A and B are shown apart, each in its own frame.
Chain A
């Protein structure tokens, strides 16, 4: 906070001329620049998105010719048919939703607990914990030990928890959260202590509610990772009826890619280009729908002033 206060006071000297209500006023140059900048970046993101969406509905022949298409012409839903006629699609959605919801809730709770303890800078506790949480980010035992652990000691084959547990705490997100927790004004916590609140109460009643934006962000990132996760599922799920969505799609795409190299008996051709694009759309769809809910917290935000009062 010290930096902010000193800057504001120096600002006072520098630009103390007009004290108008800028915030509600018209468009300042910087706002205009920002709008243009964001709009440009949006465009760079939107065009490929449109190309993917439109391409996923374009006939394979056209797509193979040009590689892309801006208008789905001739219109074709062949790729979606291929995806949605898969026998296990419904169970895949169920699996993915279970893994994402349960995984995110668990991960967010556990990460928040750890982050809070690290952020409080408790003597003899916080720093060793931070190092303890950081080391796994650099050192990993590798695939074989993890595989043995999950299959032979925890016996979690074909359980959704085999996907959830190995990814439960991401050190990266722990540190994002620690840094956010540390930015909570110490005075608020102190005044709570003066009022006789216990450390646990402070965490649950003040720390967490004040950190909604970062909880939303970390929760969103966990959700995204669980939603996209196929590799642990590949390792530990052998029952096709329990495959989560990304693994199902992953298999579909790799199968298409390899079936061209290796003989299959069927007389069929798969819309390769189209399928790749359609798979992107199918994976992104649900996340884009869920996104606005998380977004609420960091778009609107919460002003500390309001909570203080």
Chain B
């Protein structure tokens, strides 16, 4: 009942987002939703940036230094606004919708970038980058090329490696103790899990509630899909995150036809589903996967209760070692990428960046925003913003690593991630470093035939949202093995058929074929 009281607004924040009114017109004020003019007293010599998360420890001091230098170099300063992660998506969309005049923001496909591109709220930057030498020097031409959507680049891709490839972090000390040694294949990995279960009484794999759709039908590989690890050449597309995955034909380029099929028809997927079901029944994966969040899994791994955890080629999973050693002094961790053929496997990769810095069409000065992006591409400036003051916040280790001295931590991926400038953390393990280096080279991968294909959900919006709902209900339990595969898949098929699978499939085919034609 207190939902009816003032706090009700906040509890229902997301749903309350319903109204999209320009109050102006209602009050008879000509309906111009753009308020930027009214704020112009502040002049364009301060850029507003939207950053996710919380202001880092020691932020005021670093910001003062950054602004002092910026003022000297370029004649303006920045005023970043931090928006908590849990509200970032809603808040940034709201600010775009209200026509605010902030200058840059973090956007991505998993946020609202597709919508914002469709509504022309973002400045295309492909023509601009070449005018800024420092910026273009630090961005790989391949990166820019692959991140164009329909021929245009709508933001500056933020990456610290060429490819993003998810894999496993395992407790190497346990593998050694169990006599398995270094793990390099999926079969070894599986043996490790069963041995851990039997002899160590730990949970072999920790899965959190935001992982189910990564486990089986996912590109470049389903995390627990052995077939994919052995044949890492699949292209999977969805209309929106969490929706039904379609597999696209690998020979599309030569035949001109993408032939999308729902995931259950793809080779290896059924086997993988059955295997995950077995893991679930055998207690290899945690039974509460659908209800436990990633930070909880992280914390359990760090206290030595989980033997395997999800990892990304971002060079950061070794961070877990320090806290882990507090709980288990002899702990060792290793990163395992069980590709058949190891580092020569050349798996598919779209090279799509996970994060972009976008320029707001209504920003005070798009030119200065680009100047800022150029300025943070200079090593000295990049390091100041990313790591803080050298000597007090961090110190270099060798030529390519750094040691953190203070608690300062900046969300670089929302402003200044440059593959060539990022330093590795000091404690990076040898296996992680090897795979991280591997992910730095474009040549280690096969270009996904649908690499820069971004399906447009608009024509099938209604069907997609209903399929999305069905996937959460029937798909998630299936992905983590909580239900019988045949029965679960049957229920899922019925639900998505009713929700409009056929429409989605036809639309996917149309768009993918059009994409192939344009290549």
Contact = CB atoms under 8 A, between A and B. Distances in A.
B319 A269 contact: yes
Given A142-B20, A254-B85, A232 B10 contact: yes
A228 B35 contact: no
Given A142-B21, A148-B21, A234 B294 contact: no
Query: A167, A173, A262 — which one has the most chain B CB atoms within 10 A of its CB?
Result: A262
A152 interface: yes
Nearest to B310: A261
Interface in B403-455: 403-404, 407-413, 425-427
Interface residues of A, number: 64
Interface string A247-276: 100111011111111111111110111000
Contacts of A240: 55, 59, 82
A267 B19 contact: no
A143 B17 contact: yes
Contacts of B303: 60-62, 64-65
A61 B426 contact: no
B73 interface: no
B407 A172 contact: no
B45 interface: no
B54 A252 contact: yes
A170 interface: yes
A152 B319 contact: no
A296 interface: no
A264 B408 contact: no
A145 interface: yes
B19 A143 contact: yes
B404 A266 contact: yes
Interface string A55-91: 0000011111100000000000000000001110000
Contacts of B409: 264-266, 268
A167 B19 contact: no
A152 B35 contact: yes
Given A145-B21, A148-B24, A265-B410, A61 B327 contact: yes
Nearest to B324: A269
Given A142-B18, A229-B10, A254 B387 contact: no
B53 A259 contact: yes
Interface in B386-413: 386-387, 403-404, 407-413
B300 interface: yes
B1 A267 contact: no
A256 to B, nearest CB: 6
A265 B295 contact: no
A170 B21 contact: no
Given A64-B302, A65-B303, A240-B55, A143 B85 contact: no
B21 A269 contact: no
Contact of A273 (B17, B85, B296, B304): B296
Interface string A30-74: 000000000000000000000000000000111111000000000
Contact of B7 (A228, A254, A261): A228
Nearest to B386: A265
Contacts of B38: 152
A152 B295 CA distance: 38
Nearest to B11: A231
B491 interface: no
Contacts of B6: 167, 170, 222, 225-226, 229
A247 B87 CA distance: 11
Contact of B87 (A65, A147, A254): A254
Contact of A87 (B60, B299, B387): B60
B98 A147 contact: yes
Contact of A143 (B16, B60, B293, B316): B16
B84 A234 contact: yes
A144 interface: yes
Contact of B19 (A60, A145, A151): A145
Contacts of B403: 267
A221 interface: yes
A63 B305 CA distance: 11
Contacts of B128: none
Contacts of B117: none
A250 B84 CA distance: 8
11 contacts: A65-B300, A140-B9, A148-B24, A148-B33, A151-B98, A152-B98, A257-B295, A266-B404, A267-B404, A267-B426, A269-B302
Interface of B: 1-2, 4-7, 9-10, 13, 16-24, 27, 33, 35, 38, 52-55, 57-60, 81-87, 91, 94, 97-98, 100, 160, 210, 293-300, 302-305, 312, 314, 316, 319-320, 322-323, 326-327, 386-387, 403-404, 407-413, 425-427
Given A86-B57, A221-B5, A269-B322, 16 more contacts: A65-B303, A145-B21, A151-B100, A170-B4, A172-B2, A229-B7, A231-B10, A240-B82, A254-B85, A257-B295, A263-B314, A263-B316, A264-B316, A265-B409, A267-B426, A269-B299
